[in-house]
Amino acid sequence: MKHALCYSIFILLCFTACRPDAACRSNMTVGLVAELKEIQYDITHQPHIISTWDSITVQGIGNDSILYNNSKNIKKICLPLRHDADSTAYTLIYKGQTDTLLIIHNSRQHFVSVECGCVYNHTVSDLQCTRHWVDSITVLSDNVERGGETNIRFYRENQ
């Protein structure tokens, strides 16, 4: 009977000790979150705001990663920022037009837990973007942290 009790306790400890804590199970992704507000006009010239990307391609500059490849019906995009440099650049292709986005930022380590380790949070100090399909950009929050808060908004007027 003692062996069964010891074995049960051992199994219980194994399952609970190796399990990540609640913060680790939550979203550990840290990236600049961007959304789109596109104004389209109907045949009576009434404006309608479109809040989804249709056919967006996003690729990092300086690496070969494609984050979104002709993705459809996307409400927000998440752009990871480099922790080993003070800037991150992306190519954004939308409706056949290409813009380049340069994000200037500072990075700092943030301890989450023993099980999860650290993540890098960022503070955006400047944004530079070409203006082929982007009309303007608004910075909603310069703090890029876990949780998916919208940081920037792209505006485009489609007449």
Structure tokens at 114: 């023993």
Span 64-73, pLDDT tens digits: 789 999 999 9
Determine whether 74 is exposed, middle or buried from the number of CB atoms within 10 Å of its CB (0-12, 13-18, 19+): middle
pTM of model > 0.75 = yes
Return d(Cα 96, Cα 114) in angstroms, integer: 46
The pLDDT tens digits of the residues spanning 1-38 come to 555 544 444 444 444 444 555 546 566 779 999 999 99
Query: How far is Cα 8 from Cα 88, in angstroms, rounded to an integer?
Result: 51
